[in-house]
A and B are shown apart, each in its own frame.
Chain A
């Protein structure tokens, strides 16, 4: 199975991360082929809120990546001839009491030191910023850089841009497995035949663990389920992305049972999206109305007026979670020619352009603008010699 040469790089996954990688690699002069068993944004990209956030990142390497990515989204928004509804609506992290406000302020100070714009709001300012919030809240941190976009439009638009830049799209095609080629590169077997390339980028989101296994490697990505309630359209009732101060704690909470935190925001069509929940339940998609009850109860604590607003539907999906809550970006330590762009958990939309920039720099051997070290897949590899002890 030598495999014909299909492209310089095969990107597995046509979600937002895969689409950004395809565009970045194409623009770097590589011949790119995108393979996905579904259509554009057929998995996690379509199952979230389209978050482009800096507010929910702890001060550290992920925040550096998020700040870079935020700038890249603005650039993409202005240079691509399409509207993916990028909107810097701003984020409000609200606290119920002085203790929560202290924790919110502490995180904000450390984020500000890394260049995040953040402003403290007392109860009066908060009521002016978001008049329908519950009156008994203690205050908030306001993050003007927080933005959102419509991820399906963005994915389709980026894939179209990649296509114009010469990338080939193979949608509805399943990548079954592959092996490293002698010399350099990899051979991939798909439902449409055998493909060969100098490099393979694994951008399969929550399925990237399976993809890695099929390609002879392992990465510790687990699906983490989330559900969102969607309301009927309303006239502008919620202006920002508003979330509870314990959201960041819920992200890094590793409980396999339910971790919930209220996140409420409006979409351009007027519907409100209400999240967020995190559960390790494998790929089980059975409806869980208890989770919906918890989301609704938490959302009502923030916005009491929601009590009479009707929910029309829910959707749920699976985030690609990594054990240390940092994305997994870079060369596979075991299989030459295999690269990973995954493990973003709920931040993949926001981090996609900077992830793609890193991947393109690493694959083409140039210097990336953000230190890739903390995201390297090799951080999970067993220490040298450890393998012999078992």
Chain B
């Protein structure tokens, strides 16, 4: 077996949280290993264009100035284009097993694994041209390519706006932006909502900027509307927009619009595989599928030496992720005994800014809940798991046959057994099965596995997974 590389702090994830954690830890004198599956740093938010195959491209050149130092920092070793398929506690710290066959030993770990998009299936969502907003944004940022010429952006949550604005600026025609939630006057009166929204004027201004970009190009902005189907011969040609009933269990108006692409996403679900492998305590998310890592004020998890930052602790946005990363990097450095001169802003002020960002995120979450009746737009033949082509009718039959949780449904229908292992369909399936079985989201469970966080060649497992 290859001798493992040894670092003080291993950071998993090269987005805002991971980069901030790595910067903070190396600033305190730690040797840091930073792992990300993309060949360049930045994560989804700061995704850089990938121009060359093979080595040679500067992994930090396209990043905001404050992160560029990571590229030349002798204290930081970058493991890019590589995924951690398993993480475990070993004597003296932690061992990360990488899909490249390398392993990294670390005294402390910062989990900055981010989140995946929540997709609610609809008839036609398996056609080419139907994708998530994140996929369209990754195409644009990573490869400079437009997802399509005539695009419908739909779903729920604040992420729809920058995606639509980005597409418009790059020259696409955005046919409509449809937000499924409807802003009703009563919502602003809910505890924390008004205060949360008003706590971050910068964020409101950012949103206003996207809105004005869209309005200047006369993009229709619809509230209370959703994509409930799309159709086409070999790819998306038409998209059905429906004005939803209050709990989404049907609609009173619909119209088919011509489009070659529809980008539909309903927010994000934390990527919990490695947090689970390391035994970190987690909390359910109110009314939403999936769970999030529980962290203390210094971003420590219930597993000593493991810290978490960013969306894996709950969806709070890039600014909060960066602040959490800073705190996690400092705490991880402290854990391994590095507490020298502390560069950067004082911790108390970081926490104050973080609290504002989080209350903004909580307020947004209150605005956009998923209507319990969304399954009304599924047809018997709609695939709910694209890898295994499991239809909605089969899922209903499985629950009818006595399956009471996601694992039971998976066993009877193969939903979630394909290449993505339920990363795409699992959260929607959880919502659907909870509805069918009349149980809570926590009771139906999820499909996240704990041993293999990412597909890995058997040769790599044979080579690097020694006795614990």
Binding site for B on A (CB under 8 A): 14, 38-42, 46, 152-153, 156, 159-160, 169, 171-172, 227, 229-233, 269, 271, 274, 286-290, 292-293, 296-297, 299-300, 306-315
* B403 cross-chain contacts in A, Cβ below 8 A: 39-40, 156
Min CB–CB distance B21 → chain A (angstroms): 25
* A289 cross-chain contacts in B, Cβ below 8 A: 86, 88, 97, 451, 461, 465, 468
* A39 cross-chain contacts in B, Cβ below 8 A: 402-405, 408
Closest to B453 in A: A313
Min CB–CB distance A310 → chain B (angstroms): 4
Q: When the two chains form the complex, which single residue of A40, A287, A293 contacts B450, counting CB atoms closer than 8 Å?
A: A287
User: A46 with B411: in contact, given A39-B403, A39-B404, A288-B468 (CB under 8 Å)?
Assistant: yes
* B414 cross-chain contacts in A, Cβ below 8 A: 269
* A300 cross-chain contacts in B, Cβ below 8 A: 458-459, 462
Give the complex CA separation of A156 and B417 in angstroms: 18
User: A171 with B457: in contact, given A152-B412, A297-B462, A313-B449 (CB under 8 Å)?
Assistant: no
Interface centre among A229, A233, A313 (most CB of B within 10 A): A313
Give the complex CA separation of A297 and B467 in angstroms: 12
Give the complex CA separation of A274 and B421 in angstroms: 17
B464: interface (CB < 8 Å): yes
Q: B455, A293: Cβ atoms under 8 Å?
A: no
B53: interface (CB < 8 Å): no
User: A307 with B462: in contact, given A39-B402, A40-B401, A269-B388 (CB under 8 Å)?
Assistant: yes
Give the complex CA separation of A97 and B88 in angstroms: 37
B419: interface (CB < 8 Å): yes
Q: B458, A229: Cβ atoms under 8 Å?
A: yes
Min CB–CB distance B184 → chain A (angstroms): 37
* A306 cross-chain contacts in B, Cβ below 8 A: 458-459
Q: A293, B457: Cβ atoms under 8 Å?
A: no
B407: interface (CB < 8 Å): yes
Closest to B449 in A: A313
Q: B417, A171: Cβ atoms under 8 Å?
A: no
Q: When the two chains form the complex, which single residue of A14, A172, A269, A309 contacts B457, counting CB atoms closer than 8 Å?
A: A309
B334: interface (CB < 8 Å): no
Give the complex CA separation of A5 and B70 in angstroms: 73
Give the complex CA separation of A231 and B403 in angstroms: 25
Closest to B97 in A: A289
Closest to B99 in A: A310
Q: A308, B417: Cβ atoms under 8 Å?
A: no
Min CB–CB distance A35 → chain B (angstroms): 12
B456: interface (CB < 8 Å): yes
Give the complex CA separation of A153 and B458 in angstroms: 28
Give the complex CA separation of A237 and B461 in angstroms: 20
Q: A46, B407: Cβ atoms under 8 Å?
A: yes
Interface centre among A156, A160, A227, A271 (most CB of B within 10 A): A156
B343: interface (CB < 8 Å): no
B452: interface (CB < 8 Å): yes
Q: B466, A307: Cβ atoms under 8 Å?
A: no
Q: A156-B401, A308-B457, A311-B458 are in contact. List 4 more A-B contacts (CB 8 A).
A: A39-B404, A156-B402, A230-B417, A300-B459
Interface centre among B277, B279, B402, B414 (most CB of A within 10 A): B402
Min CB–CB distance A125 → chain B (angstroms): 27
* B455 cross-chain contacts in A, Cβ below 8 A: 232, 310-312
Give the complex CA separation of A308 and B456 in angstroms: 9
Q: When the two chains form the complex, which single residue of B407, B459, B464 contacts A308, counting CB atoms closer than 8 Å?
A: B459
Give the complex CA separation of A129 and B468 in angstroms: 37
Contacting A at CB under 8 A, from B377-409, are: 388, 398, 401-405, 407-408
User: A41 with B411: in contact, given A271-B417, A287-B277 (CB under 8 Å)?
Assistant: yes
Q: Interface size of B by Cβ–Cβ distance < 8 Å?
A: 37
Q: B466, A38: Cβ atoms under 8 Å?
A: no
* B462 cross-chain contacts in A, Cβ below 8 A: 293, 296-297, 299-300, 307
Q: When the two chains form the complex, which single residue of A153, A172, A310 contacts B404, counting CB atoms closer than 8 Å?
A: A172
User: A290 with B467: in contact, given A269-B417, A314-B452 (CB under 8 Å)?
Assistant: yes
Contacting A at CB under 8 A, from B411-446, are: 411-412, 414, 417-419, 421
Closest to A290 in B: B467
Give the complex CA separation of A297 and B404 in angstroms: 36
Q: B459, A290: Cβ atoms under 8 Å?
A: no
Q: A310, B456: Cβ atoms under 8 Å?
A: yes
User: A312 with B452: in contact, given A39-B405, A40-B401, A231-B458 (CB under 8 Å)?
Assistant: yes
Q: When the two chains form the complex, which single residue of B412, B451, B457 contacts A313, counting CB atoms closer than 8 Å?
A: B451
* B419 cross-chain contacts in A, Cβ below 8 A: 232-233, 312
Min CB–CB distance B463 → chain A (angstroms): 8
Q: B451, A293: Cβ atoms under 8 Å?
A: no
Closest to A315 in B: B449
Closest to A150 in B: B411
Min CB–CB distance A169 → chain B (angstroms): 6
User: A307 with B412: in contact, given A269-B388, A290-B466 (CB under 8 Å)?
Assistant: no
Q: B412, A159: Cβ atoms under 8 Å?
A: no
Give the complex CA separation of A106 and B449 in angstroms: 41
* B418 cross-chain contacts in A, Cβ below 8 A: 233
Give the complex CA separation of A292 and B453 in angstroms: 13
Q: A171, B451: Cβ atoms under 8 Å?
A: no
Min CB–CB distance A379 → chain B (angstroms): 34
**Sample (9) of A-B pairs whose CB atoms are under 8 Å apart:** A39-B405, A46-B411, A152-B411, A156-B398, A286-B279, A292-B451, A307-B459, A308-B457, A315-B449
Q: B408, A292: Cβ atoms under 8 Å?
A: no
Q: B467, A314: Cβ atoms under 8 Å?
A: no
Q: A313, B459: Cβ atoms under 8 Å?
A: no
Q: A313, B468: Cβ atoms under 8 Å?
A: no
Min CB–CB distance B415 → chain A (angstroms): 12
* B457 cross-chain contacts in A, Cβ below 8 A: 307-311
Give the complex CA separation of A29 and B357 in angstroms: 67
Min CB–CB distance B312 → chain A (angstroms): 18
Closest to B407 in A: A46
* B459 cross-chain contacts in A, Cβ below 8 A: 296, 300, 306-308
Interface centre among A39, A172, A288, A306 (most CB of B within 10 A): A39
* A309 cross-chain contacts in B, Cβ below 8 A: 457-458
Q: B417, A290: Cβ atoms under 8 Å?
A: no
Give the complex CA separation of A264 and B418 in angstroms: 19
* A287 cross-chain contacts in B, Cβ below 8 A: 86, 88, 277, 450-451
* A152 cross-chain contacts in B, Cβ below 8 A: 408, 411-412
Contacting A at CB under 8 A, from B55-70, are: none
Q: A229, B401: Cβ atoms under 8 Å?
A: no
Q: B408, A40: Cβ atoms under 8 Å?
A: yes
Give the complex CA separation of A297 and B462 in angstroms: 5
* A171 cross-chain contacts in B, Cβ below 8 A: 402, 404
Closest 9 CB pairs of A and B: A293-B465, A307-B459, A152-B411, A296-B462, A290-B467, A296-B461, A310-B455, A287-B451, A39-B404
* B88 cross-chain contacts in A, Cβ below 8 A: 287, 289
* A312 cross-chain contacts in B, Cβ below 8 A: 419, 421, 452, 455
Q: B466, A293: Cβ atoms under 8 Å?
A: yes
Min CB–CB distance A303 → chain B (angstroms): 9
Interface centre among A38, A232, A289 (most CB of B within 10 A): A289
* A14 cross-chain contacts in B, Cβ below 8 A: 402
* A314 cross-chain contacts in B, Cβ below 8 A: 449, 451-452
